[in-house]
Structures are given as structure tokens and as C-alpha cells.
Amino acid sequence: QVQLAESGGGLVQTGGSLRLSCAASGRTFGRYTMGWFRQAPGKEREFVAALSRSGGSTDYAESVRGRFFISRDIGKNTVYLEMSSLKPEDTALYYCAANALATLTARSGYDYWGQGTQVTVSS
């Protein structure tokens, strides 16, 4: 089992940048495909980005591709989501998640979730 804790959210102006962090504890970090998801008020939770357990493959939602970047630091057991050129439509609660079965990236089937960190982009 793995526990996840997100941080780094906040209020930023349109065009600004933020880096979200997801600290993992419990089982070895490299055993999971890691993902970021977000949920805006009144909307369904949606996939944002994923990183394979090997760290060699990434996947991004079309809406964030080229602006967001997922990475990890195995030594710190932390996954990051670097967000740039932020838009008001990026405003949401961002969640980190871990997938124990996927061998590459995945957009569903995540087993473990953090509590989320709020990102608000002002226009």
C-alpha cells in the first residue's frame, strides 16, 4: 500500500507557473505508475498526466500537453507536476494517484489517491 500527499497548489495569474508535489510513503515508489488528475467544480474528475513505473513513458491530456510536465525523484519518493502557461480553465483540485497494475502509463485503474491540492488561476 502507498500513501500520497499533494502540495504546491495556490493562486496564480493567467500565464503563470506552479509546481505540484506528491510525496509517497509506504511501498517502493518505483512499483507504481503515477498519475495526476483534476476536478473542477461541477465537473467530472479528469486525467491530466501519467508517468510509467520505469519513468520511461509519459502521457498527457491534450488540454495540457506542451504546458505541463510530469517527473519524479525516486530518492525523495516524490512525483511532480510542473505547470506553465496556466489558464483559468486549469482551475481545479489536483490529485495524485498510484496504479499498481499498469506497466506503462494509464488513464484509469488507479488504486491509491491523495487528498488533493487546489490550483486557482485568475484571469
**What are the counts of helices (DSSP H) followed by strands (DSSP E) for the chain?**
0, 11
Whether the per-residue pLDDT at 50 is higher than 80: the answer is yes
pLDDT digits 0-9 by tens, 88-117: 999 999 999 999 998 899 999 999 999 999
Half-sphere exposure of 64 (CA within 13 A, CB side): 25
Of 41, 86, 44, the closest CA to residue 63 belongs to 86
Residue 118 grid coordinates: 487546489
Please state, as a whole number, how many other Cβ atoms lie within 10 Å of the Cβ of residue 79: 27
pLDDT of residue 1 exceeding 90: no
Q: What is the mean pLDDT of the chain?
A: 94
The confidence score (pLDDT) of residue 29 equals 64
